[in-house]
Structure 1
Amino acid sequence: MGRVIGLRCVSCGRIYSPDEVEYVCPRCGPIRGTLEVLYDYDDLKKNLKVADIERGPLSQWRYLPLLPVSGSRGLPRLRVGWTPLYRSKNLEKDFDFGELWLKDDGLNPSGSLKDRASQVAVAHALEKGREIMVAASTGNAASSLAVNAAPEGIRTVILVPEGAPRAKLAQLLVFGAEVYQVRGTYDDAYDLSIELALRKGWYLRSTAYNPYLGEGKKTVALELAEQLRWKAPDWVVIPVGDGCIFQSVWKGFRDLHRIGFIDSLPRLIGVQAEGCSPLKKAFFEGKETVEVRPVSTIADSIMVANPRDQVKALKAARESGGTFISVSDQEILNAIR
């Protein structure tokens, strides 16, 4: 594992020891006080070599020296990560790009990139001796947790908003999760998951509030760099709901840059639905947090009115020299067809 030396608040900058705080900065609270996992980068730069990574297993655990878990209680057994990267020459012609690559995380066990976070969460829960995990989700994150926790014998409690797709609920039940529909939105389910975790001592697998989830998601950036022969792409385009994947991709590239594995950093483009684009609005208005308004889109997996990783996501866009864009529901449907 990477030696975690602290957890830094993204707003006030205070650094906590990993044993001092579990989830968010107590001074800044759950939105402004999300935490960034810090490693001993000097030690990693001195002692970790590219060859060490390349000798690792063909899964995200090849990046264990850059992750906050040791595997002392065992690592989740399903294979997650090291998914294909395809070059799309047809799209290159259509849009006049030099090179366009597509990362296919649909080959992960639950069919989602979120398996990367769930595996780190499960490993972390095992190391802490937690036997129950709770999460709020519109479907994908919950399915991911249920699939990855089941082989390890961990009980999962999932809170979903009313209207969550039935197909996603069925997947949860197949893997033995306890599923509860919350009368309200995803944001209501999210707040309830935090309350249950803190009150009952369950391990929380809800994005942003738990700083270790982003460390799992950042492995997609580590893979992209390795698959491109340890070079960062010029741009990375990412769909955005809560903002956790977006900021995690930036964190992954920054970690590699800090230890000398890559020479440059990419610019990020976050894509939101027109009917739910609070981060885009805040970005162009120069704000550090979003204004919460009613939202509506067919893209249920990214329909988040109050993105929980908003501070990190907005910082990632600005630090990378990137931007946010939005697309209409009709454009989404046209792309699917």
Structure 2
Amino acid sequence: MKNVKYLQCIECGKTFKPEPGRYICDVCGPKLGILDVIYDYEYIKSKASKETFANNADYSIWRYEPFLPIEENGPKPKLRVGWSPLYKPEKLAKEVGLNNLYVKDDGINPTGSMKDRASCVAVAKAMEENADVICCSSTGNAASSCAGNAASVGIKTVIFVPGRAPLGKVSQLKIFGANVMSVQGSYEETFKLSADAIEQNGWYNRNAAINPYLVEGKKTISLEICEQMNWEVPDWIVFSVGDGCSIAGAYKGFLDLYNAGFISKMPKVAGIQAEGCAPLAHAWQEKREWHQEAENTIADSIAVGVPRNAIKALRAVSESDGVWETVTDDEILDAMRFMGKNAGVFGEPAGCAGMAGLRKLVANGVIKKDETVACAVTGNGLKDTANAIKAAGEPMKVEPTAEGLKKALKEIGY
């Protein structure tokens, strides 16, 4: 990888060659020794410019290959990941109380979530290393994205999910041919089992908080936002947070663009967690170290009591002078209805948590009316139809008669 200088421990600063199997710092261990991918920005600038992007017809994650830690012109999975729409919904902005609001709908990715960005990089790296099996733990979206992208090139997957994972996500896994291990316990217990299985069998590790390359895939959402905004930088970016990998990746994307000279400022980062599982937001609000919390929220994709990428997530908010916010399950359900009604965007609970948090931040005066905001919807609503019905309500039942029709129409004002 000519564009990568080295991997660097974010705790002690020790550097490592980007070799197969290198995931963490030997000195600091798996909890603190998370690695950053450090790039040669002069090399990137020799390969990419605003002009080359303007003339690039590959509208997928791979248009940003000079910014990604993969072998130049190396093997890649077959699904078309990335270049999701960036909407500017005027009605939604008005209802939120903003002049300029952008919504990045990453639920249109092949398996329905932002996690496809990380998984396609994972599969590309696994192909470089001639891996036969890819393994991960997940609350659902990372699992289905891993299984789908791996299936596109015939690589087997072993996936560990907590028993509470929605059936919509588990059904995806089974359709993609994954070996699914439904762990009857918490996400933390699920993660530990997957880590044991990976170590025992030598499988490729897709766990995003351990594998430093996966955050790099997630950062492409920010590269797209900038390019789609004609290289203007929003004042704020708003992301829901579970493990911490997505918000860390989003921040890293802007940082890489800044260091490579593509943009001249950085956005502030707002991290949104569900009140029923908000170890990072609660720690920030109470000015203390974070600790494990119960996983008590309908937003399963961000129900992570022990966030594995806490350090990078906290760093993204603190270095950008951003904020953390929490939202209740009722506020999340309301945000699902709110986005659907005012923008036509259907997000799962975790996917809409960011919008729920944004509404609170604007209402509380943290984000100002004239500031430009990009809010990510990280997962499609079809992932969790049970909670969608809970949010929107059951359909009206109509008797198949003229009187039944008249009665029904009167109830809706016609």
Name the TM-score class by shorter chain.
Answer: over 0.9
2:100 counterpart SS class: coil
Stretches of structure 1 lacking an aligned partner (at least 5 in a row): none
- Partner residue, 2:195: 194
Q: Output aligned runs, 1:28-39, within 5 Å.
A: 28-39=28-39
Q: Output aligned runs, 1:149-228, within 5 Å.
A: 149-228=150-229
Counterpart amino acid of residue 312 in structure 2: K
- Following superposition, the deviation at residue 21 of structure 1 comes to 6.1
1:100 counterpart SS class: strand
- Partner residue, 2:397: none
Moved over 4 A (4+): none
Q: Is the 8 A contact 1:243 1:309 kept in 2?
A: yes
Counterpart amino acid of residue 173 in structure 1: K
- Normalised to the residue count of structure 1, the TM-score between the two structures is 0.96
2:152 counterpart SS class: helix
**Aligned-pair identity (%):** 48
- Partner residue, 2:107: 106
Counterpart amino acid of residue 310 in structure 1: A
- Partner residue, 1:312: 312
Q: Is the 8 A contact 1:71 1:123 kept in 2?
A: no
- Normalised to the residue count of structure 2, the TM-score between the two structures is 0.78
- Partner residue, 1:7: 7
- Following superposition, the deviation at residue 129 of structure 1 comes to 0.7
Q: Which has the higher contact order (CA 8 A, sep 6+)?
A: 2
Stretches of structure 2 lacking an aligned partner (at least 5 in a row): 338-414
1:121-165 residue CA offsets vs partner (Å, 9 max, x unmatched): 000000011010001011111111111110101000000112221
**Which range is displaced more, 21-30 or 298-307?**
21-30
Q: Distance in 1 between matches of 2:55 and 2:287?
A: 44
1:78 counterpart SS class: coil
**Which range is displaced more, 88-97 or 265-274?**
88-97
The answer on 1:273 being equivalent to 2:274 is yes
Q: Distance in 2 between matches of 1:32 and 1:61?
A: 30
Q: Distance in 2 between matches of 1:35 and 1:124?
A: 16
2:247 counterpart SS class: helix
Q: Distance in 1 between matches of 2:335 and 2:255?
A: 31
Q: Distance in 1 between matches of 2:39 and 2:318?
A: 23
- Partner residue, 2:248: 247
- Following superposition, the deviation at residue 72 of structure 1 comes to 5.0
Q: 1:113 to 1:2 in 2, by over 3 A?
A: farther
Q: Is the 8 A contact 2:278 2:293 kept in 1?
A: no
What is the root-mean-square deviation of aligned Cα atoms in Å? 1.5
The answer on 1:90 being equivalent to 2:91 is yes
Q: What count of residue pairs does the alignment treat as equivalent?
A: 336
Q: Is the 8 A contact 2:7 2:17 kept in 1?
A: yes
- Following superposition, the deviation at residue 46 of structure 1 comes to 5.0
Q: Is the 8 A contact 2:47 2:66 kept in 1?
A: no
